[in-house]
Structure 1
Amino acid sequence: MTGPVLLVLAWHAASETGVLPPEVLAGPSTVISSAAGLITTGDLQAAMITSLGRALFGLALGGTIGVTLAVLSGLSRLGEDLIDSPIQMMRTVPSVALIPLLIIWFGIGEAPKVALIALGTAFPLYLNVYAGIRNVDLSLIEAGRALGLSRAALIRHVVLPGALPNALVGLRYSLGIAWLALVFGEQINATAGIGYLMANAREFFQTDVIVVCLVVYALLGLAVDFIVRTLERIFLSWRPAFSGT
């Protein structure tokens, strides 16, 4: 916490001494005052709920697609032949570059925003789940077969649990990309959400409101990442891990 505290103190000092003009970046006291005003009117809470809903819906859609394709590709050589190469080609295309096509396909409502987030989040989950399945210890597979486990039981009790650590890592990556895609998505004719507040603030050069929105994006991302890390500790409690020295 020392680094962020020192950064805020330096920011405050630069604002108070005039080194950092308010038209370039508002000071911390102004930002806090603006945040309090937005909370009082309820605008900030409404924007947070809208943006969080978009991010989670897009993540759920993209995650479902990514995990499903990874399981099909990871468990079957035929699935790998049919799925992996197209996915590897598609993931090299920046999701942001698809915004014009998404607007043509889905219009300028909620659909292109959610689709952009889904596209961005599907690939990290696919890559990590696929790698997790293919990196399961072969000795565990052989032990399961020796115990007479069927293919379905082997997948359920050995392969998928073995891939879970990678899947959770992929989920954390996808969450980061979800917030990035959300920022871009909410620039597409948004009428609500944090991006909408930022767009309005940009028109009136309200740097304080823009900073408030950026902080909210960061805090929402941090909160969701904390939830995933908590899930890691719960579901991976069986796995010994290095915790630092």
Structure 2
Amino acid sequence: MTDTASAALAPPASASPSFSPEAAAVSTPTGPGPRRLRRLGPGRRLPYTRLLGPAVLVLVWSVASLTGALDPRVLPAPWTVVQTGVHRWTDGPLATDIADSLWRATQGFAIGLTLGVVLALLAGLSRTGEALVDGSVQINRAIPTLGLIPLFILWLGIGETFKVAIITIVVYIPIYLNLYSALSGIDQRFVQLAEVLGLSRLQFIRQIVIPGALPGFFVGLRLGVTGSWLSLVVLEQINSTSGLGYMMFQAQNYGQTDVIVLGLLIYGIFGFVSDSIVRILERRVLSWRHSLNN
């Protein structure tokens, strides 16, 4: 490929149909338009600014507890929940429960991520693959995943395997849907450009299709990360002897509201941290999207 052809391919390689307006703004960094868009774009927000909303909620929760507006039997005060967490960490099995939950979520997420990417590539890059894969995934998507629990217990037993299998399904579906949509939605103009430049199919996929599909992939990745934690809280209440869900189930039997709230807060923290990691990775990989603010 000549240098001219390589230069011509540079803009499409990082563009997709839904992001072309951003690319257009980047190409004209001066003038009033980019300045207006600067306030609407993703920006280089400081990581800790996302903590403002949760901090306000904790402040309202604390004030309501101090003033007596919130019944501690309904929702214990924040400091009560913190004390419970410290006690269960030092003298109880909280560390083991957290480690077991992390291991289950990690296994399911890793398998779901791999499965979702492989199926999306098969369906998005090949008409034969689309005919074989997409219909089955859409059927699987229409079936409530948690409704599969009784069947999976019969197939896989009531141990750890069925829990990981359910998490895998919850994770792979959003990753597949978003990546497949991005792969199959490449602008026709890029196809015509590749034909004019004489690109091979492999070059077209590597230089145009894959970079253009990355934004959709990261959307699915964020949904998949969240889904792994949402499903885990239910699965760990089924024949488990450890894990945060098991801890919350036991606390329900003994009326320990503070322990239940503690478990929910830990799930929320895990979800927030994992989503933030994906966002940081997305910012690094798709750094071109944030040049609006330069």
Q: Same-fold call, TM > 0.5?
A: yes
Indicate the residue corresponding to 1:98 in structure 2: 148
* Distance of 2:179 and 2:289 partners within structure 1: 18
Q: Does 1:174 align with 2:205?
A: no
* Distance of 2:224 and 2:52 partners within structure 1: 28
SS in 2 for 1:22: coil
Higher relative contact order, structure no. (Cα contacts within 8 Å, ≥ 6 residues apart) = 2
Indicate the residue corresponding to 2:162 in structure 1: 112
* Distance of 1:6 and 1:183 partners within structure 2: 25
- Select 2:76's aligned residue among 6, 14, 26: 26
Q: Does 1:163 align with 2:163?
A: no
- Select 1:154's aligned residue among 204, 209, 214: 204
Task: Give the partner amino acid of 1:94.
Answer: P
Give unmatched runs, 5+ long, in structure 1: none
Percent identity, aligned pairs only?
47
Per-residue Cα deviation, 1:70-94 (whole angstroms, up to 9, x for no partner): 1111111111112112211220111
* Distance of 1:220 and 1:2 partners within structure 2: 17
CA-CA distance at 1:102 after TM superposition: 1.2
* Distance of 2:89 and 2:203 partners within structure 1: 51
1:136-155 paired onto structure 2 within 5 Å: 136-155=186-205
* Distance of 1:154 and 1:42 partners within structure 2: 56
Q: Using a 3 Å threshold, how does the CA distance of structure 1 residues 129 and 117 change in structure 2: closer, same or farther? A: same
Return 107-116 or 34-43, whichever deviates more.
34-43
Task: Give the partner amino acid of 1:71.
Answer: L
* Distance of 2:258 and 2:57 partners within structure 1: 17
1:47-62 paired onto structure 2 within 5 Å: 47-62=97-112
Task: Give the partner amino acid of 2:206.
Answer: R
Largest Rg, 1 or 2: 2
Q: How many pairs were matched up?
A: 243
* Distance of 1:237 and 1:24 partners within structure 2: 45
Q: Using a 3 Å threshold, how does the CA distance of structure 1 residues 242 and 39 change in structure 2: closer, same or farther? A: farther
Q: Does 1:212 align with 2:262?
A: yes
Normalised to the residue count of structure 1, the TM-score between the two structures is 0.91
Q: Does 1:79 align with 2:152?
A: no
Give unmatched runs, 5+ long, in structure 2: 1-50
CA-CA distance at 1:4 after TM superposition: 3.6
SS in 2 for 1:91: helix
Indicate the residue corresponding to 1:189 in structure 2: 239
Indicate the residue corresponding to 2:173 in structure 1: 123
Q: Using a 3 Å threshold, how does the CA distance of structure 1 residues 3 and 58 change in structure 2: closer, same or farther? A: closer
Normalised to the residue count of structure 2, the TM-score between the two structures is 0.76
1:12·1:27 contact (CA, 8 Å) conserved in 2?
yes
* Distance of 1:222 and 1:14 partners within structure 2: 24
- Select 1:44's aligned residue among 88, 94, 100: 94
